[in-house]
Structure 1
Amino acid sequence: MNQTKGHPKGLYLLFVTEMWERFSYYGMRALFMLYMVQALLFDKEMASQVYGSYTGLVYLTPLIGGYIADRYWGNRRSIVVGALTMALGQFLLFLSACYFQEVALAKYLMFCGLGLLILGNGFFKPNISTMVGRLYTPDDNRKDSAFTIFYMGVNVGSTLAPLVCGLVGNTGHPEDFKWGFLAACIGMILGATAFQIFKNKYICDPDGNPVGVAPQRSASTAQQSETSSQKSTSRTLLMLGSTLLLTLLFSINWNADSAHLFADADWIGSLIYATTVVMPVIIITDHSLNRHEKLRIGVIYI
């Protein structure tokens, strides 16, 4: 097992990857409200609503991304896909800031970028930290210090982000916001590139076996999967239908007359609340999960 200062080199690769992801995330957040108010001329109420909806979905989607990683993709693929998706989202924010004077186009690019950031975060966030402990044996007393080192990467990235992105993006001139978003994009690309290049060499357990690969499926498991495809389709339709119904219910202004039930509806916020209710129920009722796994998901949700 390759070690540096008593720890496997894979830990430092995860440190660097997480550091750049946090740099990207907090760099964007440092500028986002200012960009909406100063460049796109949103009023503060609208900007706060968009910002709150974004941060709410960012903390919701890891539940979905972790589920997909455990069932289908594995941690490695989920991290790479998530990182590249977030980098693309940051680039769309950069383009939005490039065309901030064309408000309609800038808004469209901004919301598309936010969607990609939310989606990418769902794949990235729950998977990278789970790989830290798997670099060690269960009884290895270095694991506590390993997580301390790993979360130092979070602190370093979140500290540098406002300094760098704020310096180049928040100059008092709306046309300069794009440089802050571009810096966040470059940071995410650096993290994704480092992980992709070195993951096969360093991300392994003490026996040298790769960590975070896609789960292996036996022939019997594959056959069971095929026979349950109809049930899976039904669950998907149920999930979509339930989410849509709850979104509509949460969007209704119950104090208005029938002609104005959806006046000033917060569709994004309603979608967040609806998904928060539906997704945990769908996941917890998955018969492929054992009781222990369901309890862990329940604790995370609470």
Structure 2
Amino acid sequence: MQSASAVREQVPVAAQTSHPRGLYLLFATEMWERFSYYGMRAILVLFLTKAMMMDKAFASKFYGGYTSLIYLTPLIGGYISDRYWGNRRSIVTGGLLMALGQFTLFISASNYGPAEGHALSHQLLYLGLGCMIIGNGFFKPNISSMVGTLYSPTDSRKDAAYTIFYMGINLGSFFGNTITSLVGDTGKPGDFRWAFLACGIAMILGTIVFNWGKTKYLHTPEGEQVGTTPASSPGVKGIFMLLPVLLAVALGILWLDSTRLNVIMPLLIISTLGIATLILSDKSLTSGDRQRVWVIFAVSFFVVFFWAAFEQAPASLTFFADEQMDRTIFGITLPPSLFQNLNGFFVVVGAPLMAMLWTALGRRGAEPPSPMKMAIGLGLLALGYLVMCFGVKDIQPGVKVSMFFLVGLYFLHSMGELCLSPIGLSLVNKLSPIKFSSLLMAVWFLANAAANYLAGFMSGLYPEAGKPAPHLLGFEITGIYEFFMIFVVSAATAAVILFLFSRKLVKMMNTIG
């Protein structure tokens, strides 16, 4: 007997012309949330170094710890959603918590300065980021997994739907980065607070939009409401009592990892092993279900290499744009954080074209399988850093690099992202057993958590004049060229390996059992 997930992999539905309206509600909700997250992220490292007076190595590590926890807590939020709350309640709760976090950061940034003499401001910084971490844990896995529930199990439009949804993510990123860069990254440390205020307002708007349309638009093709409280839920009120506990734990981990010892990476490893054991030991899963779960874990491993390099954008690449890039065009000097906006712009422009490409190839039976698309994405990532290597090779001290090398990098990275991230989201949805859909979506974000932690570590290796050259695995990083070559080699190697194993992974995806 075939499992449900095997059937939905093998039986395509005839192409339909329009997508359900619920997709566009989720699109709008995610757009405002990503405005909030990416807008804040665009200026976070600059805020830490220029207003809170942290050095670059510490700020990079702090940033990596924060963003890794942002992607780790969806494991908890996904589990609570699947067993207790349902998607809708989780999304609203997460949205309100993230808005509270942004407003707390606004207060922190209103009294900025080094830890000595500004202890309350630094405490509020941790509190605001803690609210963001827990709120994202409830919001992120649930809004992503709801996209797939709007379609029948065999609907062939899912890849295109996730690409459209992904365009909403990057549209929000584009607007968020633009506004926060213009109002916050002005060269005046006191202006960072206005960026946080704008992000808090955006998060409130996203939550209102979702709450307004959830009952009217979020249903299956047959009209059944999706994302409601699970029928088997033992109760929902008790979970609210856990929120202060979860916040305290998140704050403790973030503080401990940034100031005392590394605890996040061991936590990531334990979480991976624990979640794999929980899912694979479930006796209701067929052998085919287990094969497909293994595929999710396999592609998630390769995703770590992609995001660890990609997420240099708000860290080392922003340091580079701030210090060593010619940012003047038409007599106007652009804020360094504004260049992160290129990613959102290129994805918004390229997403509908990519969706049409996959749909057209699918009709001709020539669409590459999902693992192959993801290998292409890794290859484009490596190519982007190779472009930067050409720009900085043998550059003399004091010489500014043309901004168009960074523009080329962001273009290639954005195209790679479109080949990997929305495809991966769709793949997880299609392969996940129904009872573990949100939890396995959280596994996808667990890979992002590991990648962001590594991104912070790698950004800490960014070479600075007047300081000892950093080392990685015995390799001395004497300049920016060597620094960027690390990402060329790691991403290209991962792309080749995934490409070679893609046929095996496709076979596992289609296993019947």
2:491 equivalent in structure 1: none
* Residue 193 of structure 1: how far off its partner (Å): 0.8
How many residues are aligned here?
A: 257
Runs of 5+ in structure 1 lacking a partner?
223-239, 252-264
8 A contact 1:53–1:268 mirrored in 2: no
Q: Which amino acid aligns with 1:14?
A: L
The TM-score, its normalising length taken from structure 2, stands at 0.47
Runs of 5+ in structure 2 lacking a partner?
1-16, 235-248, 299-442, 448-513
Trace 1:145-184 onto structure 2 (pairs within 5 A): 145-184=160-199
2:150 equivalent in structure 1: 135
RMSD, matched Cα: 2.6
- Runs in 1 of length 4+ with deviation above 3 angstroms? 265-269, 280-302
* Residue 13 of structure 1: how far off its partner (Å): 0.5
1:95 equivalent in structure 2: 107
Trace 1:1-302 onto structure 2 (pairs within 5 A): 6-101=18-113, 103-217=118-232, 266=258, 270-286=262-278, 290-291=284-285, 292=289, 295=294, 298-299=297-298, 300=443
CA distance, structure 2, for counterparts of residue 296 and residue 69 of structure 1: 23
8 A contact 1:98–1:175 mirrored in 2: yes
Q: Which amino acid aligns with 1:47?
A: A
8 A contact 1:62–1:126 mirrored in 2: yes
Q: Cα distance 1:297–1:138, how it changes in 2: closer, same or farther (>3 A)?
A: closer
Identity %: 52
CA distance, structure 1, for counterparts of residue 178 and residue 261 of structure 2: 30
The TM-score, its normalising length taken from structure 1, stands at 0.77
Q: Cα distance 1:267–1:175, how it changes in 2: closer, same or farther (>3 A)?
A: closer
How far does the alpha carbon of each residue in 1:101-138 deviate from its partner, in whole angstroms, 9 at most, with x for none?
56211100000111111111111111111111111112
Q: Secondary structure at the match of 1:7?
A: coil
How far does the alpha carbon of each residue in 1:31-74 deviate from its partner, in whole angstroms, 9 at most, with x for none?
11111111111121221121111111122222222122111111
Q: Which amino acid aligns with 1:73?
A: W
CA distance, structure 1, for counterparts of residue 46 and residue 24 of structure 2: 34
CA distance, structure 2, for counterparts of residue 117 and residue 20 of structure 1: 14
8 A contact 1:53–1:269 mirrored in 2: no
Q: Which amino acid aligns with 1:49?
A: K
CA distance, structure 2, for counterparts of residue 25 and residue 290 of structure 1: 38
Q: Which moved more, 1:292-301 or 1:60-69?
A: 292-301
Q: Secondary structure at the match of 2:230?
A: coil
Q: Cα distance 1:216–1:63, how it changes in 2: closer, same or farther (>3 A)?
A: same
* Residue 178 of structure 1: how far off its partner (Å): 0.6
8 A contact 2:77–2:138 mirrored in 1: yes
2:348 equivalent in structure 1: none
* Residue 154 of structure 1: how far off its partner (Å): 1.0
Q: Secondary structure at the match of 1:270?
A: coil
